[in-house]
């Protein structure tokens, strides 16, 4: 069945069990107003060319809707993607017909190809939830690096940076839809829980849905330890692309 996004239309999303149930079709509208994807892609491209001048092929793990992939393709790379959410992958594939997309868990994937660079951006690594999960994900990353390849990982918040009880209300317009998103952040031990509620109003009326995102909270030392356990030697930039930090790693030895 032809998807509405492929026809340039937007519809109010339906509720299901996926993490991005309520926001897959609205994701780009929401985050294009929050993130400067083009500036991030410029910085990523410059980093890849500086750290690995021969870099050509890129795998984006936890690629979401493939916006970084689209922009890296435009900057001369050949980028593919991997994500666990089929709704996000559907959007990513529609906008990047020349890229290959894989429906897989970042903590347990095995692809035939090896890449000059493997990325995990916009805190996707946080969905691994535990240090054990992060180590498994990074072990998969290392296994998919070509000789001389580099890994670039943007982490989620550290335990001391999270603000339990923080609430947000944001509005977005994606004509003919008007979207109100409310968010609440809670913390249980080393797990942060983001609950987003959506109210989407359009020609057919108003729909409401809720999605819950659970991301692990780790210190930079813990993350560096997970890289080492996965066989990667990493350096850490505490600022990174968006203030959340950035790890750049190579296969150890």
Specify whether 104 is located in the same domain as 148. yes
Which has the higher per-residue pLDDT, 55 or 177?
Answer: 55
Contact 101, 92 (CB under 8 A): yes
Give all strands (DSSP E) within 154-220, no chain letters.
Answer: 167-174, 177-188, 191-202, 205-216
Per-residue pLDDT tens over the stretch 28-45: 989 998 999 999 999 999
In this model, does residue 171 exceed pLDDT 90? Answer: yes
Q: Look up the domain containing 201 and give its range.
A: 167-216
The answer to whether residue 132 is domain-embedded is yes
Domain identity same for 151 and 54 = yes
Same domain for 234 and 109:
yes
Answer whether residue 176 is part of any domain: yes
In this predicted structure, the answer to whether residue 10 has a pLDDT above a threshold of 80 is no
Residue with tokens 């805190």: 123
| Model pLDDT for residues 184-236, shown as the tens digit of each residue | 999 999 999 999 999 999 999 999 999 999 999 999 999 999 999 999 999 99
Question: 38 lies in a domain?
Answer: yes
Q: What is the pLDDT of residue 253?
A: 76
Residue 97 lies in a domain: yes
The predicted structure's pLDDT at residue 19? 64
Both tokens assigned to 10 = 């937007």
Q: Are residues 103 and 52 in the same domain?
A: yes
Query: Residue 61's domain is classified under what CATH number?
Result: 3.40.50.150
Predicted TM-score (pTM) above 0.75:
yes
pLDDT band at 21 (very low <50, low <70, confident <90, very high): low
Secondary structure of residue 76 in the 3-state scheme: coil
Q: What is the mean pLDDT of residues 13-23?
A: 50
Q: Is 203 in the same domain as 222?
A: no
**Judgement on whether residues 227 and 144 belong to the same structural domain of the protein:** yes
pLDDT at 70: 98
- The tally of domains found in the chain comes to 2
Tell me: do 189 and 245 sit in the same domain. Answer: no
Any idea what the CATH number is for the domain that residue 177 is in?
2.20.130.10
What distances in angstroms separate CA 215 from CA 103, 124, 138, 194, one per listed residue? Answer: 20, 9, 16, 8
Residue 32 lies in a domain: yes
């Amino acid at each position: 069945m032809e998807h509405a996004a492929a026809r340039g239309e937007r519809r109010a999303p339906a509720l299901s069990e996926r993490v991005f149930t309520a926001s897959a079709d609205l994701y780009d509208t929401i985050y294009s107003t929050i993130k400067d994807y083009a500036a991030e892609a410029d910085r990523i491209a410059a980093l890849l060319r500086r750290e690995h001048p021969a870099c050509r092929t890129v795998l984006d793990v936890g690629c979401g809707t493939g916006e970084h992939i689209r922009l890296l393709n435009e900057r001369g790379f050949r980028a593919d993607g991997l994500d666990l959410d089929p709704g996000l992958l559907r959007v990513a594939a529609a906008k990047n017909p020349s890229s290959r997309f894989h429906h897989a868990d970042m903590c347990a994937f095995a692809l035939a190809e090896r890449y000059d660079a493997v990325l995990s951006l916009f805190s996707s690594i946080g969905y691994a939830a535990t240090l054990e999960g992060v180590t498994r994900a990074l072990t998969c990353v290392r296994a998919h690096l070509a000789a001389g390849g580099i890994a670039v990982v943007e982490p989620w918040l550290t335990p001391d940076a999270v603000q339990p009880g923080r609430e947000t209300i944001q509005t977005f317009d994606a004509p003919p839809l008007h979207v109100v998103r409310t968010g609440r952040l809670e913390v249980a031990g080393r797990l942060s829980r983001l609950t987003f509620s959506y109210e989407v109003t359009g020609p057919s009326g108003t729909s409401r849905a809720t999605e819950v995102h659970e991301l692990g909270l780790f210190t930079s030392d813990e993350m560096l330890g997970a890289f080492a356990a996965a066989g990667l030697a990493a350096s850490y930039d505490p600022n990174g692309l968006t203030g959340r930090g950035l790890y750049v790693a190579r296969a150890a030895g």
